[in-house]
């Protein structure tokens, strides 16, 4: 369909067209112009269809004399308006012999402009075995990303509420379908819900690794305390930077524990370090007895490594018992976190098809420590495999999703984190060893520019903050000014995608997801309802003689009520669990679930009890 004509500023890279105002088109839509190019292979002129994308739209009155009074102008325009629609079109190229080529000549002034056919556009973005994350924002044409583009890392950037986590979950679905192994760094536990919905996608294994024992997870992530740096341990415990005596006490306990492990092979960790400090507080005699148990560590070969500073600990205990006591208090705080142990959790126990590292419940210092420790281990395992080195080997490439990346990799001038070094190493060397980053952030201006610039592919959603827009512009050579100007106007779920992951910069609408996640906005109408948890728990105890398990409550929270009614002495409730309908009947205190059976303490029954409280 013809919609206008080329009228001005025609170059091989862009042109201006006037469009028929009666045939509205959309921003980011695609057009074609008949064009003639020289085929270098044959030396002949060939007729081609030059494909372009509308990157700017505006309307102007056709002609207004500047010397007319303003009222006359308004009266004339409003009564008998004659306007034109102007489009700035970015030239994308033309397809010849299956290849996308760039024109060497501009289109002719006056050339008709046509809306591109869906088939022409689909051919342009066709990718074999691609990651199909959505469709064009302007057309019902699928957009699939080139999986090999992930090798150059990816940044997902968007303001809060624009859909970045939604996109990330969709990307995870596509990667899992292609056999990828994924690790997600999850500061708030938003991705934990993936585990309970992974069956919808296929027979994949999802593991949730927690850092706080009070949060959801299949197993705890443990860090070998003696494999860590004592200064870093002090930081993780929250010891003030200037508390040098407290830090020194921690160092002395750590140093002695390390010597004991090396000499005896014992699995010593935080408990032993606390024992050393507690013994020091009891006095010199108690301390001497402890050292006598391990007298051999200062004899023979071990003495060459340096005498344990027995006198230093004695002197510190004599002069400043408060420092010893404070150090002991901080180590107890570390123990309560449950992260530090005598040995680190083996990677083989952590990894499934997708592993979610649930960092919820611990402070940023501990989160930073865990991320640094884990990323270094993952990267080294890939290096070991590729180079045939000793140590644990990871036999398949991994994709590392880092949510809230500004927490872990801020600009060095802003603050220093341990995670920065680990992530920077993956960003600069990961492609050689099969370790790929997906950096996710709503504040690109607060992510280190060296790391974000290593992410050659970018998915950019709605951004309003000028500093963040500038950070995006500086990190991407491919983002045209027109796209940058339009970022605040993107709808939720729309994104500009550019880099090696696509053939050409493209604006997409992200598809619906299959997996669940917990990052959506809170529904205040629901949130401010009267809390029924205590009443449901009481009913549950009356039926099953035990409190409801947290896992049951969590699963129930994701279900949706379809219907409920009272039939005499029984209450019939129909629920939607994922894509499955479930009937629960409550009669005489004995619940019956159509899926789990009679009298089973399942999540369907919990949800039914919750809904039964409101049945009149």
* Spatial distance between the Cα atoms of 328 and 255, rounded to a whole number of angstroms: 15
Choose between 28 and 398: higher pLDDT: 398
* Spatial distance between the Cα atoms of 503 and 124, rounded to a whole number of angstroms: 8
- Inter-residue contact 443 to 406 (CB < 8 Å): yes
Categorise residue 88: left if φ over 0, alpha if ψ from -120 to 50, beta otherwise.
beta
Nearest to 247 by CA among 298, 187, 166, 320: 320
pLDDT band at 99 (very low <50, low <70, confident <90, very high): confident
- Inter-residue contact 460 to 487 (CB < 8 Å): yes
* Spatial distance between the Cα atoms of 152 and 142, rounded to a whole number of angstroms: 23
Examine the pLDDT at 133 and tell me if it is beyond 90. Answer: yes
pLDDT of 301 reads 39
Nearest to 110 by CA among 7, 10, 16: 7
| 474 CB-side CA count, 13 A | 14
> What's the whole-number mean pLDDT along residues 98-103?
85
pLDDT of 65 reads 47
CA distances from 82 to 67, 86, 265 (A): 18, 13, 89
pLDDT of 364 reads 87
- The pTM is what? 0.76
Nearest to 492 by CA among 171, 163, 165: 163
Phi and psi at residue 248, in whole multiples of 5°? Answer: -65, -40
| 418 CB-side CA count, 13 A | 20
pLDDT band at 149 (very low <50, low <70, confident <90, very high): very high
Phi and psi at residue 268, in whole multiples of 5°? Answer: -95, 150
pLDDT of 406 reads 94
pLDDT of 529 reads 56
pLDDT tens per residue, range 35-89 = 998 887 777 888 999 999 998 888 776 544 445 454 444 455 455 556 678 899 9
pLDDT band at 361 (very low <50, low <70, confident <90, very high): confident
pLDDT band at 523 (very low <50, low <70, confident <90, very high): low
* Spatial distance between the Cα atoms of 147 and 151, rounded to a whole number of angstroms: 8
pLDDT band at 24 (very low <50, low <70, confident <90, very high): confident
pLDDT of 396 reads 95
pLDDT of 303 reads 44
- Inter-residue contact 53 to 89 (CB < 8 Å): yes
pLDDT of 279 reads 87
pLDDT of 478 reads 61
Q: What is the mean pLDDT of the chain?
A: 85
C-beta atoms surrounding 399 within 10 Å: 24
Residues 6 or more apart whose CB falls under 8 angstroms from that of 363 comprise 238
Choose between 614 and 446: higher pLDDT: 446
> What's the whole-number mean pLDDT along residues 563-572?
85
- Domains of the chain, CATH where assigned: 2-124 (2.40.30), 142-221+345-510 (3.40.50.300), 225-341 (no CATH), 524-612 (no CATH)
Three-state SS sequence of 74-118: HHHHHHCCCEEEEEEEEEEEEEECCEEECCCCCCCCCCEEEECCH
Length of the chain: 616
pLDDT band at 295 (very low <50, low <70, confident <90, very high): low
3-state helix, strand, coil in the chain (%, to 5): 40, 25, 35
Q: Which helix (H) or strand (E) holds 504?
A: none
pLDDT of 520 reads 56
pLDDT band at 302 (very low <50, low <70, confident <90, very high): very low
Nearest to 504 by CA among 524, 533, 483: 483
**How do 457-460 and 14-19 pair as beta strands?**
unpaired
pLDDT of 574 reads 92
pLDDT band at 308 (very low <50, low <70, confident <90, very high): low
pLDDT tens per residue, range 427-481 = 999 999 999 999 999 998 899 999 999 999 999 998 888 888 888 777 776 666 7
Strands (E), 129-262: 131-136, 142-145, 154-157, 181-186, 206-210, 219-220, 223-224
Examine the pLDDT at 21 and tell me if it is beyond 80. Answer: no
Strands (E), 336-448: 340-341, 354-358, 398-402, 435-441
CA dihedral (12, 16, 18, 22) positive or negative: positive
- Inter-residue contact 317 to 284 (CB < 8 Å): yes
Share of the chain above pLDDT 70, in %: 90
Examine the pLDDT at 6 and tell me if it is beyond 70. Answer: yes
> What's the whole-number mean pLDDT along residues 285-298?
71
Examine the pLDDT at 483 and tell me if it is beyond 80. Answer: no
- Inter-residue contact 554 to 567 (CB < 8 Å): no
pLDDT tens per residue, range 501-517 = 998 888 999 999 999 88
């Amino acid at each position: 369909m013809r919609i206008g004509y080329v009228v001005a500023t025609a170059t091989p890279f862009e042109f201006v067209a006037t469009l028929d105002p009666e045939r509205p088109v959309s921003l980011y839509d695609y057009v074609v112009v008949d064009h003639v190019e020289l085929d270098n292979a044959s030396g002949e002129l060939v007729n081609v269809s030059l494909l372009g994308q509308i990157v700017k739209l505006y309307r102007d009155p056709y002609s207004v004399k500047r010397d007319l009074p303003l009222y006359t102008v308004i009266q004339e325009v409003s009564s008998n308006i004659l306007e034109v629609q102007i489009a700035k079109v970015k030239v994308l190229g033309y397809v010849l012999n299956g290849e996308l080529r760039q024109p060497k000549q501009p289109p002719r002034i006056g050339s008709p402009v046509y809306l591109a056919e869906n088939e022409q556009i689909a051919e342009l973005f066709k990718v074999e075995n691609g990651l199909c994350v959505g469709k064009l924002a302007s057309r019902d044409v699928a957009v699939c990303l080139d999986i090999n583009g992930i090798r150059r890392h990816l940044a997902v950037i968007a303001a809060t509420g624009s859909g970045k986590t939604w996109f990330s979950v969709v990307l995870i679905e596509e990667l899992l379908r292609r056999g990828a192994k994924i690790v997600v760094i999850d500061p708030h536990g938003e991705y934990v819900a993936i585990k309970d919905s992974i069956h919808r996608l296929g027979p994949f294994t999802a593991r949730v690794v927690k850092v706080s024992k009070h949060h959801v997870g299949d197993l705890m992530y443990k860090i070998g305390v003696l494999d860590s740096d004592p200064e870093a341990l002090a930081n993780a415990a929250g010891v003030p930077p200037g508390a040098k005596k407290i830090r020194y006490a921690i160092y002395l306990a750590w140093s002695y524990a390390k010597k004991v492990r090396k000499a005896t092979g014992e699995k010593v960790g935080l408990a032993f370090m606390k024992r050393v400090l507690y013994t020091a507080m009891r006095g010199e005699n108690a301390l001497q007895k402890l050292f006598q148990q391990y007298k051999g560590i200062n004899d023979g070969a071990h003495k060459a490594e340096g005498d344990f500073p027995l006198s230093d600990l004695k002197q510190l205990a004599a002069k400043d018992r408060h420092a010893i006591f404070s150090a002991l208090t901080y180590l107890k705080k570390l123990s309560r976190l449950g992260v530090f142990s005598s040995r680190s959790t083996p990677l083989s126990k952590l990894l499934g098809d997708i592993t979610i590292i649930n960092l919820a419940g611990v402070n940023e210092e501990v989160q930073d420590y865990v991320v640094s420790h884990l990323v270094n281990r993952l990267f080294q395992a890939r290096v070991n495999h590729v180079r045939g080195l000793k140590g644990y080997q990871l036999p398949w490439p991994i994709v590392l999703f880092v949510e809230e990346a500004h927490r872990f990799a801020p600009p060095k001038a802003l603050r220093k984190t341990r995670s920065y070094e680990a992530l920077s190493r993956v960003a600069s060397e990961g492609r050689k060893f099969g370790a790929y980053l997906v950096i996710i952030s709503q504040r690109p201006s607060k992510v280190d520019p060296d790391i974000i610039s290593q992410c050659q592919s970018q998915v950019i959603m709605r951004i309003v903050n000028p500093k963040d827009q500038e950070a995006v512009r500086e990190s991407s050579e491919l983002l045209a000014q027109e796209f940058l100007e339009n970022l605040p106007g993107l709808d939720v779920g729309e994104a500009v995608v550019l880099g090696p992951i696509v053939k050409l910069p493209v604006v997409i609408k992200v598809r619906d997801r299959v997996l669940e996640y917990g990052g959506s906005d809170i529904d205040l109408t629901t949130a401010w309802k009267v809390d029924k948890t205590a009443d449901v728990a009481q009913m549950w105890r009356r039926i099953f003689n035990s409190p409801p398990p947290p896992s049951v409550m969590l699963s129930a929270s994701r279900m949706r009520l379809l219907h409920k009614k009272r039939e005499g002495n029984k209450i019939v409730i129909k629920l939607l669990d994922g894509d499955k309908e479930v009937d629960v009947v409550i009669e005489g205190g004995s619940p019956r679930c159509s899926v789990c059976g009679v009298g089973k303490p399942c999540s369907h029954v919990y949800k039914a009890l919750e809904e039964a409280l409101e049945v009149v």
